[in-house]
C-alpha cells in the first residue's frame, strides 16, 4: 500500500501538463520578469560592429624566380594562388606580436579600449581586449579571414584593412632582410672572381708581350717553318725560330694554365652575374604577398549584442530553472506529507 502511494506522488510525464497548469501564474510571472530584465540588460551591452577582410596567399616568394629566372624548371607562376602551407604562414604572421604591436600603436588601442595605463596589468588587459576583438582564421577554401569587432564601425573597417596592409609589408620586410644579405654575399663573390679575372688578364698581357699569343698555333707554325729552314740550310732562320721556340717553351705552360683558368673563371663569373641580377631584384623590388578578395567596409548594422537571442535564452533558462525548482519543492513536500 505504501509502495503504491509512493508511485503516485513520484513526478512523471503523465501529470507534467497538469503541473504546468497548476503553477502557471508563477511560471508566467518569472518568464515575463526574466524577459524584461534581460531586454533591459541587453541595452547595457556596448554594440559592436564587424568588418572582415578575405585574402588568398600567393605561391610566389621570390620575384626573380617568378619573372627573370632563366631555368624553366625553377620558374614560378606569379599569378598562382597559395595553398595550405602559405595560408598557415600568413596566419602565423598575423598572430605575431609585430602585427599586434603595430596595430595597437597605430590606433592607440590602450585609450580606445579604455585601459588604465597606470594598472599593473595594463599590457595583459590590452592584449586580452585585442584578442577578443580581432581574430584570424583559415577558411575551407584556403583563404585567410581577418575579422575585427569594434564599437566604432569605421574604426573596425580601418583596422581590418590596416592589418591586411601590415601583413603585406611585414612579410616583404622579413624576406627583404634575408634577400639583402644574400645579395651582399653574391656581390662579394662576384667582385672576388672579377678581381681574379683582372689578375689573370694582367698576367696574360705580360706573357703576350713576350711573344706568346696562342701557344698551340704558334708552336705548330714555328715547327713547320723550322723544318723548312733546316731543309734550306738557313742557319740564321733556324736560330731565329729556335729562339722563338725557347720563348714558347719557357712561357707556354704558364700561358696555357692562365688561359684555361681565365676561361673557367669567366664562365663562373657569368653564372654568378645571373645570380647577382636575381638577388638584386629580390632585395630591391616589391611584390604583393596576397590576393585580396574582400576589403573591409563600414558596417551598417551591429553584430552584437543580438537582443532577441539574449531575451529568448534568458527567458527560456528562467522558465526551465523555475520548473526544476517547483518540481523539487512539490516532490519533497508531497513525500514529507505522506510520511506524516
DSSP string, 51-113: EEEEEEEBS---HHHHHT-S-GGG---TTPBP-HHHHHHHHHHHTSHHHHHHHHHHTTHHHHT
Using alpha carbons, list the distances in angstroms from residue 189 to 69, 198, 199, 209, 268. Answer: 20, 14, 16, 31, 10
Residues 6+ apart with CB under 8 A from 249: none
**pLDDT by position in tens, the chain (length 340):** 344 444 444 445 557 777 777 788 888 888 888 888 887 776 667 788 999 999 998 876 666 666 566 555 555 666 677 788 888 989 999 999 999 999 999 999 999 998 988 888 899 999 999 999 999 999 888 899 999 999 999 999 999 999 999 998 888 888 888 888 988 999 999 999 999 999 998 888 888 877 777 767 767 676 676 677 676 666 776 677 677 777 777 777 787 888 889 889 999 999 898 888 888 888 877 777 788 888 999 988 887 777 777 788 888 898 899 888 888 887 776 666 555 5
Tell me if the pTM is above 0.75: no
Amino acid at each position: 500500500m505504501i509502495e503504491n502511494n509512493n508511485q503516485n506522488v513520484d513526478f512523471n510525464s503523465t501529470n507534467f501538463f497538469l503541473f504546468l497548469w497548476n503553477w502557471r501564474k508563477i511560471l508566467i510571472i518569472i518568464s515575463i520578469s526574466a524577459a524584461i530584465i534581460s531586454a533591459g540588460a541587453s541595452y547595457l551591452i556596448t554594440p559592436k560592429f564587424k568588418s572582415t577582410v578575405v585574402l588568398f596567399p600567393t605561391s610566389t616568394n621570390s620575384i626573380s624566380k617568378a619573372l627573370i629566372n632563366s631555368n624553366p624548371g625553377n620558374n614560378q607562376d606569379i599569378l598562382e594562388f597559395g595553398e595550405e602551407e602559405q595560408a598557415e604562414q600568413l596566419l602565423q604572421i598575423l598572430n605575431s606580436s609585430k602585427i599586434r604591436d603595430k596595430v595597437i600603436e597605430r590606433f592607440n588601442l590602450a585609450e580606445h579600449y579604455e585601459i588604465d595605463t597606470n594598472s599593473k596589468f595594463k599590457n595583459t588587459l590590452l592584449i586580452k581586449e585585442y584578442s577578443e576583438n580581432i581574430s584570424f582564421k583559415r577558411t575551407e577554401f584556403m583563404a585567410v579571414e581577418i575579422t575585427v569587432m569594434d564599437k566604432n564601425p569605421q574604426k573596425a573597417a580601418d583596422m581590418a584593412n590596416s592589418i591586411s596592409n601590415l601583413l603585406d609589408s611585414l612579410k616583404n620586410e622579413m624576406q627583404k632582410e634575408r634577400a639583402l644579405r644574400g645579395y651582399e654575399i653574391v656581390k662579394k663573390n662576384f667582385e672576388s672572381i672579377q678581381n681574379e679575372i683582372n689578375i689573370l688578364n694582367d698576367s696574360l698581357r705580360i706573357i703576350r708581350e713576350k711573344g706568346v699569343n696562342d701557344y698551340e698555333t704558334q708552336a705548330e707554325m714555328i715547327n713547320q717553318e723550322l723544318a723548312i729552314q733546316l731543309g734550306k740550310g738557313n742557319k740564321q732562320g733556324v736560330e731565329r725560330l729556335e729562339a722563338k721556340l725557347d720563348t714558347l717553351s719557357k712561357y707556354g705552360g704558364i700561358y696555357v694554365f692562365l688561359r684555361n683558368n681565365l676561361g673557367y673563371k669567366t664562365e663562373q663569373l657569368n653564372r654568378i652575374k645571373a645570380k647577382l641580377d636575381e638577388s638584386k631584384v629580390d632585395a630591391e623590388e616589391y611584390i604583393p604577398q596576397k590576393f585580396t578578395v574582400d576589403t573591409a567596409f563600414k558596417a551598417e548594422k551591429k553584430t552584437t549584442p543580438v537582443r532577441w537571442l539574449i531575451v529568448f535564452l534568458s527567458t527560456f533558462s528562467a522558465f526551465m530553472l523555475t520548473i526544476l525548482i517547483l518540481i523539487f519543492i512539490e516532490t519533497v513536500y508531497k513525500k514529507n506529507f505522506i510520511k506524516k
